[in-house]
């Protein structure tokens, strides 16, 4: 009996040792997995550091100098500290450029959003000529900004084709490009015409990912077309809509090509359509002060970063949680899925 107890006592440490040794396997597997992730992501991280992080650091460094762009700032420039940043933030022209940029951001969202949803709803139906309409809407997006800008700058001149058509109809011509009250609306319409195709394709892809069974169940319950769109399509399209809003805001904050090609770096200021990017090019490269231009570029980056992080924190987090794998994110995801299921059930009840 004593021998058996001794054997059991001896066996326990062995078993516990084996058990503990087995517990180390997940940690070693996790370390190997982290190593694989590091190796696979290293090329992308190196490229990101070279082409994103390094230019930001150099831009911030150049912003401390009054520099003409020749040689290095330390050799051929004059150190001015924060003067470039202070002058830029106090410049009324730059303040106007910031205001115009945010007007473009808001105006683009207000004009393109509803139109993109309506076009996507139309193209989501089966009818003859649907492919042609889809192509006509999307073609402006893939055409080069240089071609678009050059073409519209000729059409919208005071003696251009658009005013000639208006005058032939007995209407007065409009100074589309130089009148500050008209130019901003001209720019918004051109931006909407150019980029709405991208929004429509995104919305259409989101609509086509919605299960067809939901529409069939709603039709069986006697719901009409608009009632189905309100209760099913729009709620389930919300993640796609949020992504489009984010991309549209970032694109509008960086808008440069169309304004520069149509209005130029100087006319854009008098016409009231200058953006932060056109101001940066005009005062930096145009004036030969690359240090000041670098300071403005860093300010634009900070403004864009603040907007992006704010939007991500308050709006995009609910969509980004789906890509996380930790336990906390999984719990949040399950709770959110339950809430969405309940909301969908309520919506279906509303359809009935």
pLDDT (0 to 100) of residue 231: 87
Instruction: Please tell me the distance from the alpha carbon of residue 124 to that of residue 200, in angstroms, as a whole number.
Output: 10
Give Cα 95 distance to the centre of its chain: 23
3-state secondary structure of 65: strand
Contact 264, 33 (CB under 8 A): no
What superfamily would CATH give domain 92-351? Answer: MetI-like (1.10.3720.10)
pLDDT tens, N- to C-terminus, the chain (352 residues)? 444 455 444 445 544 444 454 444 555 677 888 888 889 999 999 999 999 999 999 999 999 999 988 888 888 889 999 999 999 999 999 999 999 999 999 999 999 999 999 999 999 888 888 889 999 999 999 999 999 999 999 999 988 999 999 999 988 889 899 888 899 999 999 999 999 999 999 999 999 888 888 888 888 888 888 888 888 889 999 999 999 999 999 999 999 999 999 988 667 777 788 999 999 999 988 888 999 999 999 999 999 999 999 998 888 776 665 544 455 555 555 655 665 565 556 555 555 5
Contact 140, 193 (CB under 8 A): yes
Angle 180-208/234-253 helices, nearest 10 degrees?
140
Contact 281, 94 (CB under 8 A): no
State the Cα angle at 36 between 32 and 39, rounded to 5°.
135
pLDDT (0 to 100) of residue 340: 57
| CA-derived radius of gyration, the chain | 29
Q: In the numeric block, which tokens belong to residue 252?
A: 């509008």
Contact 261, 187 (CB under 8 A): no
What are the tens digits of pLDDT across the range 71-88?
888 888 899 999 999 999
pLDDT (0 to 100) of residue 130: 86
pLDDT (0 to 100) of residue 30: 79
- C-beta atoms surrounding 184 within 10 Å: 17
Instruction: Please tell me the distance from the alpha carbon of residue 137 to that of residue 313, in angstroms, as a whole number.
Output: 33
Tokens 């040689």 correspond to 71
pLDDT (0 to 100) of residue 128: 87
3-state secondary structure of 66: strand
pLDDT (0 to 100) of residue 18: 46
Contact 272, 100 (CB under 8 A): yes
pLDDT (0 to 100) of residue 346: 54
Sorted by sequence, the CB contacts under 8 Å of residue 293 that are 6+ apart come out as 280, 281, 283, 284, 285
CA 234, 239, 242, 244 dihedral sign is negative
3-state secondary structure of 78: strand
Domain boundaries, the chain: 25-61, 92-351
Instruction: Please tell me the distance from the alpha carbon of residue 170 to that of residue 201, in angstroms, as a whole number.
Output: 38
Contact 253, 101 (CB under 8 A): yes
Instruction: Please tell me the distance from the alpha carbon of residue 324 to that of residue 51, in angstroms, as a whole number.
Output: 27
DSSP 63: T
């Amino acid at each position: 009996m004593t021998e058996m107890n001794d054997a059991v006592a001896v066996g326990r440490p062995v078993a516990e040792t084996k058990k503990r040794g087995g517990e180390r396997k997940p940690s070693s597997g996790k370390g190997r997995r982290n190593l694989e992730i590091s190796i696979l992501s290293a090329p992308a991280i190196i490229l990101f550091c070279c082409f994103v992080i390094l230019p930001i650091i150099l831009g911030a460094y150049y912003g401390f100098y009054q520099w003409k762009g020749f040689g290095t700032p330390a050799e051929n420039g004059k150190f001015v500290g924060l003067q470039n940043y202070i002058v830029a933030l106090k410049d009324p022209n730059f303040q106007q450029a910031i205001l115009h940029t945010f007007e473009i951001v808001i105006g683009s969202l207000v004009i393109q959003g509803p139109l993109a949803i309506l076009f996507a709803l139309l193209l989501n139906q089966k009818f003859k000529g649907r492919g042609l309409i889809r192509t006509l809407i999307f073609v402006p997006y893939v055409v080069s900004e240089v071609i678009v800008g050059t073409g519209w700058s000729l059409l919208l001149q005071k003696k251009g084709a658009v005013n000639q058509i208006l005058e032939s109809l007995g209407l007065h011509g409009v100074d589309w490009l130089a009148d500050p009250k008209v130019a901003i609306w001209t720019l918004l319409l051109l931006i909407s015409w150019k980029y709405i195709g991208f929004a429509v394709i995104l919305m259409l892809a989101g609509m086509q990912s919605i299960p067809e069974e939901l529409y069939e169940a709603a039709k069986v319950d006697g719901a009409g077309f608009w009632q189905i769109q309100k209760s099913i399509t729009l709620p389930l399209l919300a993640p796609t809509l949020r992504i489009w809003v984010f991309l549209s805001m970032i694109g509008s904050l960086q808008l440069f090509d169309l304004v520069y090609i149509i209005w130029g770096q100087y006319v854009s200021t008098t016409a009231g359509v200058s953006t932060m990017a056109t101001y940066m090019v005009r005062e930096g490269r145009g004036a030969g002060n690359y240090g000041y231009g670098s300071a403005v570029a860093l300010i634009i980056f900070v403004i864009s970063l603040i907007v992006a992080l704010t939007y991500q924190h308050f709006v995009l987090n609910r969509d980004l949680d789906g890509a996380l794998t930790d336990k906390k994110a999984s719990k949040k995801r399950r709770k959110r899925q339950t809430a969405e299921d309940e909301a969908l059930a309520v919506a279906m009840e509303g359809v009935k």
